[in-house]
Amino acid sequence: MQSALRITTKVLPGNKIEIEIPEAEIGDSVDVFVILPEKSESKRRSVVELIEKIRSQRPSFRNTEDIDKQLKEERESWD
């Protein structure tokens, strides 16, 4: 039965990796697969795009009268 060994290592200077395989003997042939981590694309956004995104996630626009009404109701509930 073919065995597999998973090893996580760091990339060394010169873009090299070093692995140790305790089960292998000198002269053994091995296959090595390197799987690179997925990197998220960091898309730079403009300030305007960020403001539009925030506004789209908030409830509909409230005017001054709506806010004053809510504050008045809140204050009346304190009594």
* pLDDT per residue as tens digits for the range 32-72: 999 888 877 667 778 888 888 887 887 667 788 988 999 99
Cα(31)–Cα(69) distance, integer angstroms: 71
Q: Are 24 and 33 in contact (CB under 8 A)?
A: no
For 16-41, how does the pLDDT look when each residue is reduced to its tens digit (9 = 90+)? Answer: 999 988 888 999 998 999 988 887 76
pLDDT in tens, 3-15: 888 888 999 999 9
Residue 2 has pLDDT above 80, yes or no: no
User: Which value, to the nearest 10 degrees, does the dihedral of the CA atoms of residues 36, 40, 42, 43 take?
Assistant: 120
N residues, the chain: 79
> Can you tell me which residue has the tokens 């799987």?
35
Q: Domains of the chain: which residue ranges?
A: 47-78
Q: Percentage of the chain with pLDDT > 70?
A: 92
Phi, psi of 39 (to 5 degrees): -110, 125
Separation between Cα atoms, residue 61 and residue 40, nearest integer Å = 33
pLDDT value for 62: 77
Q: Which two tokens stand for residue 25?
A: 């003997």
